[in-house]
Chains A and B, each alone.
Chain A
Amino acid sequence: MANEVAIDIRDVSKRYGPRWALARLSYSLPVGRSLLLTGHNGSGKTTLLRMIATASFPTAGTLQVLGKDSRTDREAIRHQVALLSHASFLYEDLTAAQNLIVLGRLMGLEDPARDSAALLDRVGLSARTDNPVRQFSAGMRKRVAIARLLLKAPALALLDEPFGELDPAGIAQMEGLIAELKAKGTTLVLATHMVEQGIRLTETRLPSGAPGPGSTR
């Protein structure tokens, strides 16, 4: 278990249009470990998380997730990885419950309605399950999004600014949910500016966008 590699990044660069978002990154994270990504805005944290989730792919270099090549084996990776991103992935005109049920159906869950209701209850939204997401505040959307991630019960969870837009109670709750994921053996990658919480939840830290001299792998 300890020797299994969850994420293997080799000399990965990513270009968006004419701009390089990530240059020559190499890193590897064992299964079950948790990684904290820090760095200023635009340092490539989101880019890296999106690539690990196979929402996009390296321009150069190779990326393996859970032992599979991100480009050629994306389907298999997507079954086991979940991403909480800046964008909520939610449909504005569907209710919170409907948004989760759509995902549950795609995953082939037996009773997506029951699972969705249970998860929305856990993130404190049981009173609003049947309201369209359009009426939700940013913090509430974040809660639906984390419920969406939990529904997937991923082997590898990627969290991009999970504490953003949450109130203090929400932050505490999010911390609890993340700790719970970790306790279940989920491999975690956490990108946040809230370094205090981040360090508490993770074992390894990768400051991006501030390349030092030499290479350690």
Chain B
Amino acid sequence: MFNFALGPDTALMRAHAAGYLWLGILFSSVLSLGESFRIESENLSLDGLKLAPADARAIFIGKALGNTLMLWLLSLVLLPVTIALFDVKVTLGIPALIGILLIGSLAISAPGTVYAAIASNARARDVLLPLLLFPILIPALLGCVKASALIFEGDPMNQLASWIRLLVAFNVVYWALGFILFPRVIEDD
């Protein structure tokens, strides 16, 4: 889709392949995050879960890990497609890239789960989720795109480690925040 919007310049597209890959993952994440709470609101299953009783923090961890897995699998499907379509070389090897895809999926899922829980209960949920989530995710997106691009093109100046540190920090902060704040989102008091 992106190459139709931007025109067929192979060299340019190869340079931006990491960006396309992550935009693809980001847009899909809205769908999968929304779906993960749609199934909960269908028969108010989330209430059933809460009253079972299941600890709300455990529900967060479960939901967020489930979303991470979904996104990671999806990104593993998108990865060969990206490599083939944009004709990129993976200089630093596929395993490193798979690692970044995992860290990125984790980074999207933690705040994504909190916001999806909020949006699923509000009016205009389909508009609200990307509106709330995307700007918050910009640091993670930057980190993922930069790190992936470095893995594609090689890392002569050793910048990769610092971007990974940024992503790890983002993950630590938002998984902790989600763990603390999620119960307040789903408890009806």
Q: List chain A positions with a Cβ less than 8 A from chain B.
A: 53-57, 71, 74-75, 78-79, 81-83, 85, 87-93, 103, 106-107, 148
Q: Is the CB of B43 within 8 A of A88?
A: yes
A55 touches B43 (CB 8 A): no
Complex CA distance for A189 and B45, rounded to whole angstroms: 22
Select which of B39, B47, B53 is within 8 A of A87 by beta carbon.
Answer: B47
Closest to A152 in B: B52
Most B CB atoms within 10 A — which of A88, A92, A106? A106
Q: What are 14 A-B contacts with C-beta separation under 8 Å?
A: A53-B51, A54-B51, A55-B47, A56-B188, A57-B188, A78-B50, A78-B52, A82-B51, A89-B45, A90-B43, A91-B39, A92-B43, A93-B39, A106-B52
Assembled-state Cα–Cα distance A211/B73 (Å): 57
A81-B44 Cα distance, complex, nearest whole Å: 17
- A-facing residues in B46-81 (Cβ within 8 Å): 47-54
- Is B39's CB under 8 angstroms from A92's CB? yes
Residues of the B chain whose Cβ atoms lie less than 8 Å from the Cβ of A82: 51
Cβ of B9 within 8 Å of any chain A Cβ, yes or no, is no
Contact A85 B39 (CB under 8 A): no
A55/B53 in contact, CB under 8 A? no
Choose among B39, B50, B54 the residue that contacts A55 (Cβ–Cβ < 8 A). Answer: B50
Interface size on B, residues (CB 8 A): 15
Chain A residues with Cβ below 8 Å from B39 are 91-93
What's the least CB distance linking B189 to chain A, in Å?
A: 4
* B48 (CB) vs chain A CBs: closest residue: A89
**Is A56's CB under 8 angstroms from B189's CB?**
yes
**Chain B contacts for A74, CB-based, 8 A:** 53
Q: B33 → chain A, closest Cβ, in Å?
A: 17
Nearest CB in chain B to that of A58: its residue: B189
CB distance from A36 to the nearest CB of B (A): 22
Docked complex Cα distance between A16 and B45 (Å): 20
Complex: A107 Cα to B51 Cα, angstroms: 11
* Minimal beta-carbon separation of A84 from chain B (angstroms): 11
Q: Judging by beta carbons under 8 Å apart, are B51 and A92 in contact?
A: no
Looking at the assembled complex, report how far the CB atom of A125 sits from the nearest CB atom of chain B, in whole angstroms.
17
Known A-B contacts A56-B189, A57-B188; the reply to A89 vs B53 at CB < 8 A is no
B43 contact from A78, A87, A106, Cβ within 8 A = A87
A residues near B51, Cβ cutoff 8 Å:
53-55, 78, 81-83, 89
Report the Cα distance A83→B189, complex, angstroms.
18
* Across-interface contacts of B189 in A (CB, < 8 A): 56-57, 71
Q: How far is the CB of B124 from chain A (nearest CB, A)?
A: 16
